[in-house]
Chains A and B, each alone.
Chain A
Amino acid sequence: MPAASGISVLIVDDQMTMRALVRNGLQQLGFTEFRDAVDGEDALRQLISRPSHLVISDFNMPKLDGLALLRAIRGHPPIAKTAFIMLTGRADRELVQRAVQFGVNNYLVKPFTVTILKEKIEAVFGPLT
């Protein structure tokens, strides 16, 4: 069972508010290692210079959206295995389906509770200690 503190997370969202909310949730769950990225391109650059275990990324962002970020990660072998949870603003089934095509590990609908955040992460990594 993985410990939350052993999982490094890259939070990708163009909204400072949303990044803070995700970070706040992760902190409550015992996560200690997180970085922020403001859009897909920023995220990709950061991941390439220093990988993370988990990416929690918004979908609709300027420059490079979440879907293309996901595709780019999966298409770049050194980071291709990074776990990826997509944040979506609306229960947009089609979007989630597209993300699944590109190998998303799970998704999270905004607004979310800490419980749901935990469930989604556990769905990816297994129960957290």
Chain B
Amino acid sequence: MDPLEAIKVTFFQECEEQLSELESGLLAMEQGETDSETVNAVFRAVHSIKGGAGAFSLEPLVRFAHVFETTLDDVRGGKLAPDNNVVKVMLRAADVLADHVRAARDGGVVEEARSQALAAALEALNGEAPLAPVVSAELDDMPGLEFTPLTVSEDDGFGDDFGFTPLAAGIISLEPEGPALRTWTVLLRPKNALYAKANETGLLLRELKRLGDLQVSIDRSELPGLAEMDAEHAYLTWTILLTTDRSQSDIQDVFEFVDGDCDLSITAEDFAVSPAEIGVLGGDEPFDVMALIQQAQAEVQAAPAPVIMAQAFAGPASPPAPAPAPLAAAPAVSVSSPPPSPVAAAAAVAPDAAHGAAAQQATIRVDLDRVDRLIDLVGELVINQAMLAQRVTESGVPRSSNIAMGLDDLEHLTREIQDSVMAIRAQPVKSVFQRMPRLVREVAAMTGKQVRLVTEGEGTEVDKTVIERLTDPITHMIRNAIDHGLERPEVRVAAGKGPEGTVRLSAVHRSGRIVIEVSDDGKGIDRPRVRQIAIDKGLIEVDSNLSDEDVDNLIFMPGFSTASSVSDISGRGVGMDVVKRSIQGLGGRIAITSRPGQGSTFTLSLPLTLAVLDGMVVSVCDHTLVAPLTAIIESLQPKAQDVRAIGPDAYVIAIRDTYTPLIDVGAMLGYRTTPLDPTKGVALLVEGEGGARAALMVDAIQGQRQVVIKSLEANYRQVEGIAAATILGDGRVALILDVDNVVAARRREKARSDAKLATVG
């Protein structure tokens, strides 16, 4: 790839990061966090996008970013107070900026009217049009300023009145031709560890000698008298003048193996360091960089503001232009930014160190394919390890033997590797949550409702695949919450609520799963209406006896849509059943609770990873199956008196005074035709989505095990009642039960037979 193209890809990736920083910064400002670091971070995000866009000549993006930046600069400079109104405009501008970035990336076009409207709104905020007409202007001379050209560059717009320091004969003294010979000062102070690791200064010096001429002097001043001398302590410091044509890194390489075991400084003669200063170069007590930084920052702050050339701000609020300072012999001129107030200037150079530290984490970018390949391989490793363990057990090696114990260690280690590898794919849900404020703004604007979005637990981590597939369901649920859940402001006020509704989006880890909740404080589910719609659509019988919970769950039924007219917002006939299906596709469950007049809560529970599963291994008619452990509430051996027949081949089982449908897994999967005698098997009490319970009859339980999920669909095809497959320790393939599907299939069957009975009756 053309290097510039590659950089462009990086640029767009970075833009995404900056856009999300921009949005979270603005949201923080909306909450009243208008400290200089937040404002500066927001400014920096837009500034950086503009800077990069300029390098790639992305004109529309640069133009919009420039207007945005100008307004932000006013906020930063204290000229514009970031009140709610200002921040709201900026949030909308951030959305448009995001559109511009994506348009530039994907070759689209941003709706010109919208972009212009927001640019105008931004300009209205700072009370003036931005002065510089962007890209080209910044390379040109500043308008109205006349400069004597600087010695070398003539395009810079600043004169030699600045007195830049040319270093022509300065820092590096290179020979005119041929390899340059330079003299380096190498200061070497071994630490005790250097000798302790059997390294030798003499050998290092011999290595250095191979690079060029050496002059070695030794500092023995720290050497104590013989009596006090500690034989294992390092007392000596060497100063080596090395004249060589080799590079600094070549010299550095000599010390490769003693890195960290000595204080070392390699400087060209021009950088010469006095021996007294070697202590600052990575000694036992690290040189206090922070002190140097703080001093520098204090000095930058304390420095008198430079004489401003001239200032002519046309803005209504601007103070009268100060008398031109001597330097400004040039005619009055427009400067693109006002002199920052001392406070703002101080803030700009003294950011909160802790805050910055949190924002900057050491990261590397890795191709996702590589990670997935690793995860796949680790999956194979886990299976192989399990198979090996099983074979060792089968070969009669006692559990206390070294081999068995070694295998235990291996298993432990394998698990840790697996967890660590999974953690690579784990990402905070922030990336999904961050898209929601924009959605809420848009839907609120479309519906004329006032909405406040509250997010919690953005840092909760879950597998990247899960995250990617969460966006659509969450988007849909939030739209629903605003469109169907929340009332219009006047209705809310009439109901004694505040005019602004709240939609809450939260994520939390709970017992090995991630639980995401979308709740609103709206009117709750209109149960009579839901029931009527379900009847009208033939989903339930007119006289069905349904609990409130059952009614709430009707909204998940395929084809159900409560909107009497299909609205723009909640999709076209795409109902909650689609949401439910996609959540189930991720091995997740969805449930709803609702209280009339107080709102509804959708709860999603999802596995943290799609690659492994804690399962209960069971046998059914000589087949081995795996049931997800998370779905199992308990297992029990049914007693004859607890089992009741309620129809042909239909049984229920009494578990603590509640009748629960009994599902014969073997019959359901077609493994057997004659039903299993319930008292001869084991019942797994499971909970499907929406809290529906059933007892799954299996022949026997083999044990619990973590299994690596292999897609059945990818290798065979989708099978009703089966979620995926796995390979067991003995090499056999076992199918993983789709508990939700099994329970739901049973319910559908029951509903049909009930309907039949009703017709007959």
- In the bound complex, what is the Cα–Cα distance between A50 and B271 (angstroms)? 11
Q: Are B293 and A93 in contact (CB-based, < 8 A)?
A: no
* B166 sits at the interface (CB 8 A): yes
Q: Are A81 and B300 in contact (CB-based, < 8 A)?
A: no
User: CB-CB < 8 A to B551: which residues of A?
Assistant: none
- In the bound complex, what is the Cα–Cα distance between A102 and B162 (angstroms)? 11
* B176 sits at the interface (CB 8 A): yes
- In the bound complex, what is the Cα–Cα distance between A126 and B145 (angstroms)? 27
User: CB-CB < 8 A to B348: which residues of A?
Assistant: 60, 65
| Residue in A38, A44, A68, A96 whose CB lies within 8 Å of B300 | A68
User: CB-CB < 8 A to B271: which residues of A?
Assistant: 51, 78-79, 81
User: CB-CB < 8 A to A89: which residues of B?
Assistant: 47, 50-51
- In the bound complex, what is the Cα–Cα distance between A15 and B368 (angstroms)? 22
Q: A60-B44, A64-B293, A94-B308 are in contact. Are A103 and B165 (CB under 8 A)?
A: yes
Q: Are A62 and B356 in contact (CB-based, < 8 A)?
A: yes
Instruction: Give the distance to chain B from A93, nearest Cβ to Cβ, in Å.
Output: 6
Q: Are B180 and A49 in contact (CB-based, < 8 A)?
A: no
* B421 sits at the interface (CB 8 A): no
User: CB-CB < 8 A to A6: which residues of B?
Assistant: 172, 174, 180
Interface size of A as a range: 35 or more
- In the bound complex, what is the Cα–Cα distance between A111 and B135 (angstroms)? 8
User: CB-CB < 8 A to A75: which residues of B?
Assistant: 292, 295-296, 299
- In the bound complex, what is the Cα–Cα distance between A21 and B488 (angstroms)? 51
Instruction: Give the distance to chain A from B347, nearest Cβ to Cβ, in Å.
Output: 11
Residue of A nearest to B176 (CB): A1
Residue of B nearest to A87 (CB): B51
- In the bound complex, what is the Cα–Cα distance between A79 and B300 (angstroms)? 18
User: CB-CB < 8 A to B163: which residues of A?
Assistant: 100
Q: A14-B44, A64-B297, A65-B349 are in contact. Are A110 and B151 (CB under 8 A)?
A: no
* B14 sits at the interface (CB 8 A): yes
| Count: A-B pairs, CB below 8 Å | 225
* B426 sits at the interface (CB 8 A): no
Q: Contact string, A95-129, partner B, CB cutoff 8 A, digits 1/0?
A: 01110111111110111000010011011111000
List residues of B (247-264) whose CB comes within 8 Å of A's CBs: 247-249, 252
Residue of A nearest to B41 (CB): A62
Q: Contact string, A24-57, partner B, CB cutoff 8 A, digits 1/0?
A: 1000000001000011110011001111011000
User: CB-CB < 8 A to B153: which residues of A?
Assistant: 106, 116, 119-120, 123
Residue of B nearest to A123 (CB): B152
Residue of A nearest to B249 (CB): A33
User: CB-CB < 8 A to B174: which residues of A?
Assistant: 1-3, 6
- In the bound complex, what is the Cα–Cα distance between A101 and B303 (angstroms)? 9
* B760 sits at the interface (CB 8 A): no
| Residue in A8, A45, A110, A126 whose CB lies within 8 Å of B168 | A126
Q: A3-B174, A81-B270, A105-B165 are in contact. Are A44 and B293 (CB under 8 A)?
A: yes
Q: A68-B300, A125-B168 are in contact. Are A111 and B351 (CB under 8 A)?
A: no
Instruction: Give the distance to chain A from B355, nearest Cβ to Cβ, in Å.
Output: 8
Q: Contact string, A66-97, partner B, CB cutoff 8 A, digits 1/0?
A: 01110110011111011100000111111011
- In the bound complex, what is the Cα–Cα distance between A44 and B166 (angstroms)? 22
User: CB-CB < 8 A to A14: which residues of B?
Assistant: 44, 48
User: CB-CB < 8 A to B11: which residues of A?
Assistant: 17
Instruction: Give the distance to chain B from A88, nearest Cβ to Cβ, in Å.
Output: 9
Q: Are B14 and A17 in contact (CB-based, < 8 A)?
A: yes
Q: A49-B281, A94-B308, A110-B55 are in contact. Are A105 and B299 (CB under 8 A)?
A: no
Q: Are B248 and A8 in contact (CB-based, < 8 A)?
A: yes
List residues of B (217-255) whose CB comes within 8 Å of A's CBs: 247-249, 252
Q: Are B308 and A123 in contact (CB-based, < 8 A)?
A: no
Instruction: Give the distance to chain B from A122, nearest Cβ to Cβ, in Å.
Output: 6
List residues of B (290-330) whose CB comes within 8 Å of A's CBs: 292-293, 295-297, 299-300, 303, 305-309
Q: A16-B10, A62-B351 are in contact. Are A67 and B300 (CB under 8 A)?
A: yes
* B637 sits at the interface (CB 8 A): no
- In the bound complex, what is the Cα–Cα distance between A14 and B162 (angstroms)? 27
User: CB-CB < 8 A to A16: which residues of B?
Assistant: 10, 14
List residues of B (127-174) whose CB comes within 8 Å of A's CBs: 132, 135, 137-139, 142, 145, 150-153, 155-158, 162-172, 174
Q: Are A71 and B296 in contact (CB-based, < 8 A)?
A: yes
List residues of B (341-380) whose CB comes within 8 Å of A's CBs: 348-349, 351, 353, 356-357, 359-360
* B277 sits at the interface (CB 8 A): yes
Q: Are B303 and A68 in contact (CB-based, < 8 A)?
A: no
User: CB-CB < 8 A to A33: which residues of B?
Assistant: 247, 249
Q: Are A44 and B168 in contact (CB-based, < 8 A)?
A: no
Interface-lining segment among B81-89, B331-339, B490-498, B561-569? B331-339
Q: Are A90 and B296 in contact (CB-based, < 8 A)?
A: no
Residue of B nearest to A3 (CB): B174
* B574 sits at the interface (CB 8 A): no
User: CB-CB < 8 A to B152: which residues of A?
Assistant: 119-120, 122-123
Q: Are A104 and B157 in contact (CB-based, < 8 A)?
A: no
User: CB-CB < 8 A to B356: which residues of A?
Assistant: 39, 62-63
- In the bound complex, what is the Cα–Cα distance between A58 and B80 (angstroms)? 26
- In the bound complex, what is the Cα–Cα distance between A16 and B55 (angstroms)? 13
Instruction: Give the distance to chain A from B11, nearest Cβ to Cβ, in Å.
Output: 4
User: CB-CB < 8 A to B78: which residues of A?
Assistant: none
User: CB-CB < 8 A to B162: which residues of A?
Assistant: 96-97, 100
Enumerate 11 A-B pairs (CB-CB under 8 Å) in ascending A order: A2-B174, A20-B10, A40-B293, A62-B41, A68-B300, A78-B271, A82-B171, A111-B57, A123-B150, A125-B170, A126-B166
7 closest Cβ contacts across the A-B interface?
A126-B168, A72-B296, A123-B152, A97-B306, A71-B296, A111-B54, A63-B356
Given A81-B271, A111-B55, A123-B150, output 15 extra A-B contacts at Cβ < 8 Å: A3-B180, A6-B174, A15-B48, A17-B48, A17-B52, A18-B48, A20-B10, A24-B4, A33-B247, A45-B289, A48-B287, A60-B44, A65-B351, A72-B292, A125-B172
Chain B residues in the interface with A (C-beta under 8 A): 3-4, 6-7, 10-11, 14, 40-41, 43-44, 47-48, 50-52, 54-55, 57, 132, 135, 137-139, 142, 145, 150-153, 155-158, 162-172, 174, 176, 180, 247-249, 252, 265-268, 270-271, 273, 277, 280-282, 287, 289, 292-293, 295-297, 299-300, 303, 305-309, 335-337, 339, 348-349, 351, 353, 356-357, 359-360
Chain A residues in the interface with B (C-beta under 8 A): 1-3, 6-8, 14-18, 20-21, 24, 33, 38-41, 44-45, 48-51, 53-54, 60-65, 67-69, 71-72, 75-79, 81-83, 89-94, 96-98, 100-107, 109-111, 116, 119-120, 122-126
